[in-house]
Chain A
Amino acid sequence: MKTIKIFFLVVLSGFCFSRLQAQQGVTRISIGYTAGFPTSKFKDFISDASFRGMDLRVLHGINDKLSVGFGTGFQDFYQKYPRQVYKLSDGSDVSAVISNSVQTVPLLARAQYSFTPGKRIQPFVGVGAGGNMVLYRQYLGEFEGSKNKFAFQAQPEAGFYIPFKPGGIAGISLSGYYNIIPFKYNNTGNLNSVGFTVGVAFPTGN
């Protein structure tokens, strides 16, 4: 309930700041809820989707179509596997419930290109590149093995921006993206995932 209240407050503040002007020279903040879906090798470690995530980005309009800025966020991946016997390299057999947990916190430089600025629906493409603080944990029963690493991340993206008012700067943003995070630890490979975000965007200042 608290989360919903915060969401509506953010939406309301978006309306307050909404203005009829082009995005050139305007700095816009967007806050979104995200869902992540592991792909490729990451799926072998955690196959469950993550519905615990958020996205925060600040973009400044270079011109009507192109914005640049930075973004961060958070995604929490987790999966518990039922008890099973695992053969270890030293010859021992271990019966354990395994819990895998990965949190990713990106810190990306971003660029976004809008195809139809000023229109009611504004499709865009974007790209982010930078680093990601990866918190990797694997539990055998209650016993933890962990690895924290600042990994490279690239993130191509495509989506739609729908202003609250025609030509407005505040609005709703919907997008899908692909996270490329090279990572190697134990038997775990790259932590690539598909993500979706829905959020609100609003300009900073007047």
Chain B
Amino acid sequence: MLCLTIATSMATILTGCAKDPLKNLTEDESRIYITNHDSTYNFTSAQTFTIADSVAVISNGQLVGKDLTSYDQQLIASLKTAMTKQGFTLVDKSSAPDLALAVTIYSSDQTGVISYNDYGGYYGDYWDPYYWGYPGYSYYYPSYYGVYNYNETTLAIDMFDLKDAAGSNQLKNVWSALVRGSGIFNPAKVDTQVQTLFDQSAYLKTN
């Protein structure tokens, strides 16, 4: 016990001499990009997409409102460009798109976890399925989606299958992306961040 106390005290004092990994990270290096998808979904069966015209801002689990700052506009435009580059065609939400994209910004001053399953349960509070033309539907997230810690601001992009919604009465999440870290909301980094998400999602294309 004495040894453990001495060693712990020594460790505490001496780790002050250690190289601090966080101080050796640039803002770009601090960010992580997480994507996941429904592996049973065939993205080549989808041709068209639509994207929400604003960004939902969620603070401590509560919807603060929908926003459209210049950053939000730039992000939505960048997503449209990336999707188009992958072969999808942008259409109005009234034209029965196959896929729908929504952008959400989560902020929290609490330490906790995001579970995609829980996340799916609340998602209807943030983005009413009515918005996509599917009133009374619910959102569905595949069970294998991950759980992540959060105590910061996170940018989330979700993609839903509208094409097959009628059969299941559900808007199934087929692709999700999270960006976490410093400098997320730097306008100069928007295109790079979107490109990184699409680069690691090679399956996200029409052919």
Contact = CB atoms under 8 A, between A and B. Distances in A.
Interface of A: 52, 54, 72, 74, 76, 78, 80, 83, 85, 88, 90-97, 99, 101, 103, 105, 107, 130-133, 135, 137, 139-143, 148, 150
Contacts of A96: 32-33
Interface residues on B, range: 35 or more
Contacts of A140: 32
B80 interface: no
Contact of A90 (B22, B29, B144): B144
Interface in B160-187: 180-182
A103 B17 CA distance: 10
A133 B10 contact: yes
A143 B114 CA distance: 15
Given A105-B14, A133-B11, A135-B15, A99 B25 contact: yes
Given A80-B24, A133-B10, A88 B19 contact: no
Contacts of A103: 11, 14-15, 18
B39 interface: yes
8 contacts: A76-B19, A92-B35, A93-B34, A97-B25, A131-B4, A141-B29, A141-B181, A150-B7
B3 A107 contact: yes
Contact of B180 (A83, A91, A143): A143
B31 A141 contact: yes
A80 B24 CA distance: 9
B19 A52 contact: yes
Contact of B7 (A54, A90, A131): A131
